[in-house]
A and B are shown apart, each in its own frame.
Chain A
């Protein structure tokens, strides 16, 4: 895990989350902007997954529990898919709010993943 990438991920997820919440509460149905923001969050998570698989092999090992780390990472990877499908089926403002909730939940989870990798057990 790379520290600046974690910070970038949390930042993007928070911005995407607030954006979706605001647009959702303003009454917008899920559109290209909000779905795109969620897709970007998911893309960064996939990059993180690849990095997490490679990192221990090149000497960047987690200080905490790798199993706990993966529980968070896999749950986080599933959330945008669930929220995205929901947004495609239910086209109303609350789906946009839910997309915002997905992004904010991921921000918290990535922060926790960073703690597990860098702080826990160190």
Chain B
């Protein structure tokens, strides 16, 4: 394969003004995408198959899925307003995983859960702080907020140059 031509093209591409995310940030977007897929798949199935069993937990499951999808889009989409959307959705996720995680552990009844098994029938992405998903739902928003705080849209050009320089030359 012609690595050189391709990485050269990518290099010029990344200097375009509209690219919001680059380098290691793309891994973040990818993990968000997978989590959005996981949460959507699970909540759709739970709601179709057995919504009556734990309506509160499954509705939260669906809500978390929507938030993950919006957060994924917000991380990729350019512009200041999407940047704000990313802040809001990712903060919401952190709050969600902390609140729902604590509730599922200490007061599962309030969510209509029958047990606290994070792999069980009633489990959501946020149950027991995301244990069923290797705690990724707990770690990811923290990394996401950290990443956002380091990448304001205004400083994007400068940050991108250093990052892609690193990525493309390796």
Interface of A is mostly: helix
Task: Let me know if B23 is at the binding interface, CB within 8 A.
Answer: yes
Contact A75 B31 (CB under 8 A): no
Task: Let me know if B24 is at the binding interface, CB within 8 A.
Answer: yes
User: What count of chain B residues pass the 8 Å CB interface test?
Assistant: 27
Residue on A nearest B33 in the bound complex, by CB: A82
CA gap between A65 and B42 in the complex, in Å: 12
Task: Let me know if A98 is at the binding interface, CB within 8 A.
Answer: yes
Task: Let me know if B79 is at the binding interface, CB within 8 A.
Answer: no
Contact A90 B10 (CB under 8 A): yes
Task: Let me know if A105 is at the binding interface, CB within 8 A.
Answer: yes
Task: Let me know if B45 is at the binding interface, CB within 8 A.
Answer: yes
Q: Which of A57-114 contact B (CB under 8 A)?
A: 65, 67-68, 71-72, 75, 79, 82-83, 86, 90-95, 97-98, 101-102, 105, 108
Task: Let me know if B26 is at the binding interface, CB within 8 A.
Answer: yes
Residue on B nearest A89 in the bound complex, by CB: B10
Interface of B is mostly: helix
Residue on A nearest B48 in the bound complex, by CB: A67
The 5 A-B pairs at the shortest CB distance, nearest first, are namely A27-B170, A92-B167, A91-B6, A98-B30, A71-B41
21 A-B pairs in the complex with CB atoms less than 8 angstroms apart? A27-B170, A29-B7, A67-B45, A67-B48, A67-B49, A68-B45, A71-B41, A71-B45, A72-B41, A75-B37, A79-B37, A83-B30, A86-B30, A90-B10, A91-B3, A92-B7, A92-B167, A92-B168, A97-B27, A101-B30, A102-B34
- Which residues in B have some Cβ–Cβ distance to A below 8 Å? 1, 3, 6-7, 10, 23-24, 26-27, 30-31, 33-34, 37-38, 41-42, 44-45, 48-49, 119, 134, 164, 167-168, 170
With A92-B23, A94-B24, A98-B30 already in contact, 12 other A-B pairs whose C-beta atoms are closer than 8 Å: A28-B170, A29-B170, A65-B45, A67-B45, A67-B49, A75-B41, A86-B30, A90-B26, A91-B7, A92-B167, A101-B31, A101-B34
- Which residues in A have some Cβ–Cβ distance to B below 8 Å? 27-29, 31, 65, 67-68, 71-72, 75, 79, 82-83, 86, 90-95, 97-98, 101-102, 105, 108, 115
